[in-house]
Each structure stands twice: as C-alpha cells, then as structure tokens.
C-alpha cells in the first residue's frame, strides 16, 4: 500500500499560483480586465485583433440580432458598437448619474422589447380562431383559477384576535 505524500498538494498549489495573467484594456469601453494570454488570443481572433470585454461582446451580439438589415457581420456590429462607445464617452459625465442610469436602462429595455416584437411574426394568442382567419374567437376565454392563498374563515380570525387581546390584558 502506497501512502500519499504531502508533496503532491503543495506542487499543485504552486502550479495554480503560477498561472500567467495579463491586464488588457477593452478597445470599446476602456474597461481593464485580468485574463490569461490564451483567452486574450481567442477573443482577439474572434474580433479581428481587437480586445473587447464580456459586456461589449454581448452588446455586439445584440447589435447583430437587432439590426434592421437581414444579417450584418461581426466586424460591422463591432464597428457600430465602438462608434457608440466613443460617442457616449465623448459626451462627458452626466449632470445626474442616477437619472442617466435610469434613462439608459429604459432605452435598453425598449430596444430589447422592440427586437423581441420584431422576431415574432404572428402573435402567440390562444384566442385566435381555429380556422386561422385572424378572427377572434369569443368563446375561447381564460377561466379564472382559484387563489393559491387559502381563505381563512372569519370566525377563525376573530377567535385568534380575541385570544391575542386576552393574553395582552393578562400581561398587564
């Protein structure tokens, strides 16, 4: 039987601490991240030699999806996003950051809902007629379900209140 030595975990720990990490700055927004060189190379290969952070990568993907044209390339979407970031950063800091954040989130949500609306060609309505003529079937209605919260009888509630009041009077 071979006994495990304490050297194996120590060498594993030293190998884990020796992972090379580089700081890299996003070419779009300027965010600095620490990443491994292999990851940096993969991202640069994907985005034509430019380093972009994860948030900007998602924005580029979203730009491709919501573009009015049938299909734009990743390079075109990246160029549009870089131009947007430059325009945004050149405006300077907003006078009220909280209001600016709220309006930016509102704009993002509107864009998202517009892109979702355009993806659906037909509404997913259960009230459409079976023949698919676009006529609304008045007989198809949602039935009202019962509440998921059980109802309490008033006598039970009244007796509970009475017992609480009696306890309070007894404590005085």
Q: What is the pLDDT along the chain (172 residues), one digit of tens a residue?
A: 555 555 555 555 555 567 899 999 999 888 899 999 999 999 999 999 999 999 999 999 998 888 877 788 889 999 999 999 888 888 777 778 788 888 888 888 888 887 777 666 555 555 544 455 555 555 555 555 555 555 544 455 455 556 656 665 665 5
- Domains of the chain, by residue range, sit at 19-92
Task: Give pLDDT, residue 152.
Answer: 46
Query: Exposure string (b/e) for 96-131, b if CB count within 10 Å is 16 or more?
Result: eeeeeeeeeeeeeeeeeeeeeeeeeeeeeeeebeee
Which of left, alpha, beta for 114 (phi over 0: left; psi -120 to 50: alpha)?
alpha
> Tokens for 15?
């190998």
pLDDT at site 89:
80
The pTM assigned to this predicted structure is 0.45
């Amino acid at each position: 039987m071979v006994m495990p030595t304490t050297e194996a975990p120590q060498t594993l720990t030293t190998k884990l601490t020796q992972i090379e990490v580089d700081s890299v700055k996003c070419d779009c927004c300027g965010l600095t991240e620490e990443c491994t060189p292999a990851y940096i190379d993969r991202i640069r290969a994907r985005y034509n030699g430019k380093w972009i952070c994860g948030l900007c990568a998602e924005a580029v993907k979203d730009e491709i999806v919501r573009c009015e044209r049938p299909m734009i390339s990743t390079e075109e979407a990246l160029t549009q996003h870089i131009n947007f970031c430059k325009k945004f950063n050149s405006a300077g800091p907003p006078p009220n950051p909280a209001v600016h954040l709220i309006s930016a989130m509102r704009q993002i949500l509107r864009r998202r809902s517009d892109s979702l609306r355009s993806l659906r060609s037909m509404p997913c309505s259960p009230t459409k007629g079976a023949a698919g003529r676009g006529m609304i079937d008045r007989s198809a209605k949602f039935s009202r379900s019962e509440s998921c919260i059980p109802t309490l009888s008033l006598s039970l509630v009244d007796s509970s209140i009475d017992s609480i009041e009696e306890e309070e009077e007894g404590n005085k």
